[in-house]
Amino acid sequence: MLSTTPTTEFIARALDLSALRQSVYSSNIANAAVDGFHRMDVRFDRELERIALGVAQGTSGREVSAATPNATVVSTDSLVKLDEEVGLMARNALRYQTLLTAMQKGSALLRMAVREGRE
Amino acid sequence: MDLFEVFSISAAGLSVEQARLAAAASNLANARTSRTADGRVYQPLSVVVRSQAAAARSDSGRFDPLMAADAAALPRPVVASVEPSLAPPRLVYDPGHPDADPRGFVSLPGVDPLGTMLELMSVSRAYEANLRAFDLTRSLIQRTLDIGRNS
């Protein structure tokens, strides 16, 4: 099944987390006018590292998908700085688009295999 | 993960900034209003913004309840109230003014022009940032829809 190949599974997970980041940054920007609002952030990179390690060591796609996403939205100590948030958001959007491109390349490979190498 | 949820967050941010803009504009416009409908001097307005978590939604049938819950639980700003600020009125000596007190002083609103201009700039930047967030979310969704095109 397409969805259980380790690569697509991994990319799908990363896309989910990137989308979560987009919503957290948007929320930070929206709440910038609130007195005493501390910016929020997503902690998940360590989890991704663990999954990536598993993929590198040949873990099957099923095991990767069994790894629960441990993404947590945490409140930090710092106040919202608009320019910083917009910068982070732009970087995250690029990351999201890169992941989408990677996913498209993955399905292009499959398509080539299905067509026995013919374009 | 529901990216569409982000639109409502950004929209809440935009409407809060509009309320701040309206208050600042009203303060600047009324900088010389010595008497309002209730007979007193105009009180500069300040907007009180609070953030609230979106109402918890019970959609247990979601594909990925954990991620969906996270996005829906993010705080959204709301205008809690628009309150007259406690800035004391300025006293200007103008004995011919109809609202002058017996000593010849007119009470004018304690609008701080410099502070209000700074507030306007901050509103403008924040509005832009919210629009940018809105736009980026839109283009991410657009790109996601393009998965599998040209195949």
Mutate to test the interface with A, among B8, B18, B51, B121 (most CBs of A within 10 A): B51
Segment B102-137, tens digit of pLDDT: 999 999 999 999 999 999 999 999 999 999 999 999
Mutate to test the interface with A, among B138, B140, B141, B143 (most CBs of A within 10 A): B140
Residue A108 lies in a domain: yes
Q: Which residues pair with B106 in a beta bridge?
A: B92
Question: How confident is the model at residue B51, as a pLDDT?
Answer: 87
pLDDT higher than threshold 70 for residue A72:
yes
- Give the whole-number percent of chain A exceeding pLDDT 70: 77
Our count of domains for chain A comes to 1
Q: Chain B: residue nearest A23 by CA?
A: B6
Amino acid letter for position B56: A
Residue A39 lies in a domain: yes
Q: Distance (Å, rounded) from C-alpha B16 to C-alpha A33? A: 8
Question: How confident is the model at residue B77, as a pLDDT?
Answer: 93
Q: What is the mean pLDDT of residues B3-9?
A: 90
Residue A119 lies in a domain: no
The Cβ-side half-sphere exposure at B117, using a 13 Å CA radius, reads: 2
The range of the structural domain enclosing residue A18 comes to 2-114
Q: Do B136 and A107 touch (CB under 8 A)?
A: no
Q: Shortest CB distance from A30 goes to which of B67, B76, B143?
A: B76
Q: Which residues pair with B76 in a beta bridge?
A: B52
State the first-to-last Cα distance of chain A, in angstroms, to the nearest integer.
22
Segment B10-29, tens digit of pLDDT: 999 999 999 999 999 999 99
Q: Distance (Å, rounded) from C-alpha B51 to C-alpha A32? A: 10
Q: Residues for chain B: how many in total?
A: 151
Q: What is the pTM of this model?
A: 0.79
Q: Does B9 touch chain A (CB under 8 A)?
A: yes
Q: Does B16 touch chain A (CB under 8 A)?
A: yes
Question: How confident is the model at residue A46, as a pLDDT?
Answer: 64
